[in-house]
Amino acid sequence: MPAQKKITVLFLCTGNSCRSQMAEGWTRHLKRNLVEAHSAGVNPKGVDPRAVKAMAETGVDISKQGSKSLDEIRHIEFDYVITLCDNAHKTCPIFPAKTRVMHVGFEDPPRLAEKAKDEEEAMAHYRRIRDEIRVFVDGLPERLFSEESGISANQQLLFESGIESFLNQMPKEHLHESDDREEDK
């Protein structure tokens, strides 16, 4: 049986320093058998040390990833380009017709951390965005196909987050009751 071809994805941000690096790291860690992940920036500026630290806390090492320009990866044919910030979305270059371009915006941890009182508060922003990106990556590649069907990735994330939040607020005994009813059938 021939091996299934991996979907090739580019995560694109302005600086390729934080969000796109996290998305590449999560994808390589969680979906390496299904997705070939790359990241780049429209104006690369180096990998953010706090992004490296936040990912390391989860056991994902992105310390060897580098900040890349689009020129450095132009030889790669992508199935999907996913912009993770508004600036990259607005300035995204044209890709070949077969490449699907979609936008899934996440807040900018460095910008959020500028107003932090201390390092721990700054890192809290990085951790939150790291975890939001993981939720998105967990849904790959299926989430990409739902985007093609008209459901945006952001809409799907909001829906999934809403369901998760609802379930987390629900008393545990109600969750077990429904489990018991399923067993009786």
Strands (E), the chain: 7-13, 35-41, 80-83, 100-103
pLDDT of residue 5: 84
Distance CA 42, CA 90 (A): 11
pLDDT of residue 177: 40
For the chain, 185 residues long, give each residue's pLDDT as a single digit of tens: 556 789 999 999 999 999 999 999 999 999 999 999 999 999 999 999 999 999 999 999 999 999 999 999 999 999 999 999 988 888 877 777 789 999 999 999 999 999 999 999 999 999 999 999 999 999 998 888 765 544 445 544 554 444 444 445 444 444 444 344 333 43
In a domain, 174, yes or no: yes
pLDDT of residue 165: 47
Distance of CA 153 to the CA centre of its chain: 10
In a domain, 52, yes or no: yes
In a domain, 2, yes or no: no
Q: Give catalytic residues, as residue numbers.
A: 13, 85, 92
pLDDT of residue 36: 96
CATH number for the domain that contains residue 37: 3.40.50.2300
Number of domains in the chain: 1
In a domain, 40, yes or no: yes
In a domain, 1, yes or no: no
In a domain, 155, yes or no: yes
In a domain, 145, yes or no: yes
Distance CA 146, CA 156 (A): 8
Is the backbone peptide bond immediately before 96 cis, with ω within 30 degrees of 0?
no
Q: Output the CA torsion 148→150→153→157 (10° steps).
A: -140
Distance CA 39, CA 37 (A): 7
In a domain, 59, yes or no: yes
Domain residues for the domain of 21 are 7-184
Count of C-beta atoms within a 10 Å radius of residue 171: 8
